[in-house]
Every structure is written in C-alpha cells, then in structure tokens.
Amino acid sequence: MEEKQARLQRLKREKDAVILAHYYVPEDVQKAADYVGDSFYLSQVAQRVEAKTIVLCGVRFMGESAKILNPQKTVLLPDAAADCPMAHMADPARVRQVKAQYPDAAVVCYVNSTAELKMLADVCVTSSNALAVCRALPNRRIFFIPDQHLAHFIAAKLPEKEFLFNDGCCVVHDAIRAGDVQETMRRHPGAKVLVHPECRSEVTALADYVGSTAGILTFAQQDDANAYIVCTERGIFYELRRRCPEKTFFLVEGCSQTCTDMKKVTLDKVIAALEANAPQVTLPEAVLQAAKTPLERMLALSR
Ligand code: 13P
Ligand code: SF4
C-alpha cells in the first residue's frame, strides 16, 4: 500500500496532476485524493485548480462536468465504464417537447446527467444547491430532470413554483425503503436519521436531516447526538468515521447502499490512468460550449 501511495505521488508530480474524489469511491482512493467532496464541491474545485491534469475519481458525469468547466485541461476518468444510470434517465426528445409546450418553463438539470441533457438545460443544480437555485430562478414553472425524488423534495419547499416532473431516479437511493428504515430505527432507538434527497419521499419524511453528502457530514459533525442511521451510499462512512470517531453510524437493515459504478474506481486504476494518460474525457466542441452555460449559471447562482 505504501508503495502504491509513493508511486501515485511520483506520478502526480510528473504529470502535474491533481486527484478529485467523491465520498462514494473506495476508501483508499478517498485517502489518496487531494480533494474529496460532494458533486458541487468537486465542480467548484474543477473550475479553479491549476494543475494540467485532473483525475476525477467518480462517475462519468463528474468527469464530464470537470472537462466542460475546464476544456483546456486533461481530465482522466480512471474507469471509463463508471457511469451513473440516472444520468441517462431523461429522454432528450421529451425535454425538447416539454420546452416547446411550455416555453416559459426553466429546464433545471441535476448534474447527475449526460452532457447531452445538460445542453438542453437553462441551469444545472446539485443536491446541495437545488433549493437555492430553483428559488432564485425568475421562472414560476420548472421542469426538473432527471431525478424525480430530488424534484419532489425541492417542489414541496417551493409552493410558489409549479414543477413538471421526470421519472428518473438513483437506483441506489430508490432501493432504500421506508419499512427498512423504520425497522432500523426500532433496533436503534435514539439514533437520528440522515437522508440524501435522492431517496423516496416516504424516506425523507422519516429524516432528522436531509441533505447532500457534504451536508450530511457537516450535520453529523455539528449535531450533539451520538448515533445515526445513514440513508445514502455506504462510501460516506469512511469520512463520517474519520470526522466523528466517537459517534456510531448504522446502515439501513436489508439495503445494499452500494453504488457499483462508484466502486469501479480503484486505486490501481487511478495509478494506471496516470501512467497511460488515459482514459480521457473527451466531448465534441459543440457539446462543451452548450453544456458550459447551465453549469456556470449554477456556480454563479450558488455564490
Ligand atoms: P452529492 O455528493 O452531491 O450529494 O451527490 C450524491 C450522488 O449521488 C452523487 O452521485
Ligand atoms: Fe448515480 Fe446513485 Fe451511483 Fe450517485 S449513487 S452515481 S446517483 S447511481
């Protein structure tokens, strides 16, 4: 392990590279990263880093966002097959049709989406800024793609807006069922419930706190309880335990809480990507241009 870390440090220097990782990738990759964070933080870092190469340890849409925000840089995705199924869960033809039918609607696109979908959006959001961005939009009508659960969570907080929904979802969060959360609550009375807004509304209804991965981490760190049931992907446990070593965190009984795509990003693949300078994220020039506007608008509206 020591040897791998040393090799990685040498490669980073040689290639002028910086490593960005999401909280869901394997522990040793999080440990090796220069920056670890939620989707919003990673897009902010991707916009400002100076290194020539960004190694994005996460799924494809994260690598694409980094490339769109930084087209002149080399962006490496250690496993080119690590993709988020939800990113494909909106149909571009339907988005065009809704835009034609409701010209007054803003198309709000969760960053967990393909670059092709982002091209059709007025603005992007992540789970940590979706509420603020939707609230700040002048449009009353919002077509939110691709995640139905995040859309419903935000819509309930903005009764002054009219939401049009899409039917996509995260397969990992959607599989966390309220009955299993309630059973886990019975087994651990007193434990607070932390929920990601990609979960079903009957699960967010059970929560003491709902927020992005970064929000969940901050809440656990600042809150005074000593035990929590965590309704998101299990990769977050590494950082939860690192920041709160005295606290206890429970998974939901009977749920896998594993994103197989995030787990494809291994330390060996990070090293191999740096050695080979591949796989690189590449997008056609027209896509880079068109998808940049909604991402930059998100960053501006979240400031
Ligand atoms: P955040 O880290 O932005 O909360 O996103 C969760 C997620 O599902 C990323 O794939
Ligand atoms: Fe996509 Fe869900 Fe995996 Fe995140 S956890 S990458 S939303 S499938």
Would 64 be classed as within a structural domain?
yes
Would 255 be classed as within a structural domain?
no
Determine if ligand 1 sits within 6 Å of the CB of residue 184: no
- My answer on whether 190 and 222 are in the same domain is yes
Q: How many domains does the chain have?
A: 3
Distance CA 100, CA 242 (A): 49
Q: Give φ, ψ of 188 to 5 degrees.
A: -130, 70
Would 26 be classed as within a structural domain?
yes
Which protein residue's CA is at the shortest distance from atom 4 of ligand 1? 212
pTM, whole model, 2 decimals? 0.97
- My answer on whether 51 and 107 are in the same domain is no
Distance CA 122, CA 67 (A): 19
- My answer on whether 119 and 57 are in the same domain is no
- My answer on whether 75 and 7 are in the same domain is yes
Which protein residue's CA is at the shortest distance from atom 9 of ligand 1? 39
- My answer on whether 184 and 230 are in the same domain is yes
- My answer on whether 90 and 75 are in the same domain is no
Would 141 be classed as within a structural domain?
yes
- My answer on whether 30 and 75 are in the same domain is yes
Pair 75, 281: CB distance under 8 Å: yes
Which protein residue's CA is at the shortest distance from atom 3 of ligand 1? 39
Across the 303 residues of the chain, what is the mean pLDDT of every consecutive 10-residue run? 87 98 98 96 94 98 97 97 98 98 98 98 98 97 98 98 98 98 98 98 98 98 98 98 98 98 98 98 97 96 85
- My answer on whether 102 and 237 are in the same domain is no
Pair 168, 148: CB distance under 8 Å: yes
- My answer on whether 91 and 78 are in the same domain is no
- My answer on whether 185 and 198 are in the same domain is yes
Residues paired with 21 in a beta bridge: 36, 57
Would 257 be classed as within a structural domain?
no
- My answer on whether 90 and 72 are in the same domain is no
Q: Given this model, what pLDDT does residue 302 score?
A: 86
Would 256 be classed as within a structural domain?
no
CATH code at 119? 3.40.50.10800
Amino acid letter at 297?
Answer: R
Would 210 be classed as within a structural domain?
yes
Determine if ligand 1 sits within 6 Å of the CB of residue 257: no
Dump the DSSP string for 70-96.
Answer: -TTSEEE-S-TT---GGGG-S-HHHHH
Distance CA 165, CA 188 (A): 35
Pair 229, 219: CB distance under 8 Å: no
Domain coverage including residue 74: 2-82+262-282
- My answer on whether 148 and 212 are in the same domain is no
Ligand 2 centre to CA of 48 (Å) is 25
Nearest CA-CA partner of 162 in 146, 136, 141: 141
Determine if ligand 1 sits within 6 Å of the CB of residue 112: yes
Which protein residue's CA is at the shortest distance from atom 2 of ligand 1? 38
Q: Going along 137-271, which residue ranges are E strands?
A: 141-145, 162-165, 192-195, 209-210, 227-231, 248-250
Determine if ligand 2 sits within 6 Å of the CB of residue 172: yes
Which protein residue's CA is at the shortest distance from atom 1 of ligand 2? 84
Ligand 2 centre to CA of 259 (Å) is 6
Q: Given this model, what pLDDT does residue 1 score?
A: 64
For 14, counting Cβ atoms within 10 Å of its Cβ (0-12 exposed, 13-18 middle, 19+ buried), the class is exposed
Q: What is the DSSP letter of 281?
A: P
